Amino acid sequence: MPDEWHKGSAIYQIYPRSFRDTNGDGIGDLPGIIEKLDYIASLGVNGIWISPFFPSPMKDFGYDVSDYRDIDPMFGNLRDFKTLLARAHDLDLKIIIDLVLSHTSDRHPWFKDPAKKDWYVWADPKPDMFGEQVPPNNWVSVFGGPAWTYDKTHGQYYLHNFLPEQPDLNFHNPDVQDAMLDICKFWLDLGVDGFRLDVVNFYFHDRELRDNPPRDANLGAATQYEGDDPYSAQNHIYDKTRPENLKFLERLRALTDRYPDRALIGEGGDDHFFQLAADYCEGDNRLHTIYTPQLCGGKHKRLTEDLIRTPVEDFLNQAPNARPTWAFSNHDVVRAASRWCPDGDGFGHNPALSKMLIALLGCLYGSFFLYQGEELGLPEAKLKFEDLQDPWGRHLWPEWQGRDGCRTMLPWNKDTKSGWLPLAESHRPLNAADQENAQDSTLNFTRAFLNWRKHQPALISGGIDFLETHSETLLAFERKTADQTLFCLFNLENAEQTLPLFLTPQNAHLAFPKEKGEENTLAPYSFQILKGKEN
């Protein structure tokens, strides 16, 4: 169906600050995206997700919005965005924009307007056992420290689930909901094809401001940081994922459905994520699909079958009527090329691994995001403390360098300059211009695979069934529609593996890649997609 383009789609994520700088100020811009639209289309993707480009003080690099209806001058202007939108549509590329509705910048006019004080979450201090005035409850910020900041002018605390410069909006106020829906309408009228809804489960808070209870330590980390993290010590049942949020999502979906071929992609984190997915995608009146983070997190040194199979099967079993959107990398996590590479102290890479990961991501059930640079096989960049811009990374240094290692400038050629972050020297030899001319490059592999994938019904809309391999580094599954069956086999380790005979189906032939190695073997970090007899 035309309005179901998002199902099984491949979407390229652009982090605009680091994508393409056309004016030499060290910051990527909208003209840079326009310049590279043909490049993006050549990858074989269906659309683009652009991280925030709205006016912002950039305390959290665009996720602190001070004006929802304009473009920050560092990126360009609305005329540039309209040009981008028109040219992308000419290339049959959808445009998804990143909407941050849960909070604004503290420099947003709303936060400064006394008449709109109740558009945010304010609360009186409470006395502690010593009679001192303290925050109203025990909620903590994702980025560390209390989730409350005291304001002397008001004599109250305001809530911020992230930085103090990102005050949370009060979605219990109907005026806030109406204002946010009107902002969505503005961009839908402009012609965007949908929204990636940042922290979609953070919109509402508990009216009674009850303390969060302790969290089961066996659940592991609740954020990308895996060290001693106060946020991971709480069970976040009162500061997010509140039941009132579902009604607002229904209002947002009703608005979106007034426009043809639009999609709502929700992003959020929760200890019970698959229940969240089931609730937020229930029926046809909430989200179209949910951004599923289980394959992005962690700092694993070794990729094993269960790291892929378990989250996919858990999603299918616990949220059978929802649609997942997967990713291996994004602007917030360590790049998968390094995360799952056992060499290089967390910053190494292997081109064979990068190619295999592209194919694996494209073979999973659901849609997926491909983060800028994955098509080049870029590893995580190693930075010095003085180079860090991410406030989270500076706070946690030296245990973790934060999110800047995946946000460095994209190397378009060997002469690409450093920008707001230094260009990683490990990226320079992997530049796009050189890969264009190398037949066996990760870039040309990505193009070949994703353009082939577009014509495989089983990979777009087929179901998935995992096969038992009796090996923790051999992953096998079947994708199937009424008219096509594909057998997908992946070697997850840097060593040759012999395929068991039961994994080589009769009457099947190699569909991708066309070059076949030795019979019944998989080379290190390689894969085979076999096509069964057509029905």
The span from the CA of 403 to the CA of 381, in Å, is: 10
DSSP H or E stretch at residue 87: helix 78-90
Q: Which of 64, 80, 165, 267 is catalytic?
A: 267
DSSP symbol at 20? -
Q: Count the residues in the chain.
A: 535
DSSP symbol at 62? T
The first and second tokens of residue 128, run together, are 């502690």
H helices then E strands: how many in the chain?
Answer: 14, 20
Q: Which of 47, 54, 11 is nearest to 30 (CA)?
A: 54
The span from the CA of 507 to the CA of 98, in Å, is: 46
Could you give the 3-state DSSP secondary structure of residue 512? strand
Fill in the amino acid letter for 529. Answer: I
Q: Which of 198, 332, 404, 478 is catalytic?
A: 198
Q: Which of 412, 318, 315 is nearest to 373 (CA)?
A: 412
Does 505 sit behind a cis peptide bond, omega within 30 degrees of 0 on the bond before it? no
CB-based contacts of 199: which residues, under 8 Å, 6+ apart? 100, 102, 161, 240, 267, 268, 269
Alpha carbon 216 to chain centroid distance? 26
Task: Give φ, ψ of 136 to 5 degrees.
Answer: -65, -20
- Provide the CB-side half-sphere exposure for 96 (13 A, CA): 31
Instruction: Check if 198 is active-site.
Output: yes
Cα torsion through 512, 517, 523, 527, rounded to 10: 10
CB-based contacts of 526: which residues, under 8 Å, 6+ apart? 352, 356, 491, 517
The span from the CA of 86 to the CA of 88, in Å, is: 5
The span from the CA of 389 to the CA of 21, in Å, is: 18
Q: Exposed (0-12), middle (13-18) or buried (19+): which is 132, by Cβ within 10 Å? A: exposed
The span from the CA of 467 to the CA of 469, in Å, is: 6
Fill in the amino acid letter for 134. Answer: V
The first and second tokens of residue 403, run together, are 């999110």
The DSSP string of 337-386 is HHHT-SSTTTT---HHHHHHHHHHHHHSSSEEEEETTGGGTPPPPP--GG
Helices 273-280 and 245-256: angle between axes, nearest 10 degrees = 50
Q: Which residues are catalytic?
A: 198, 267
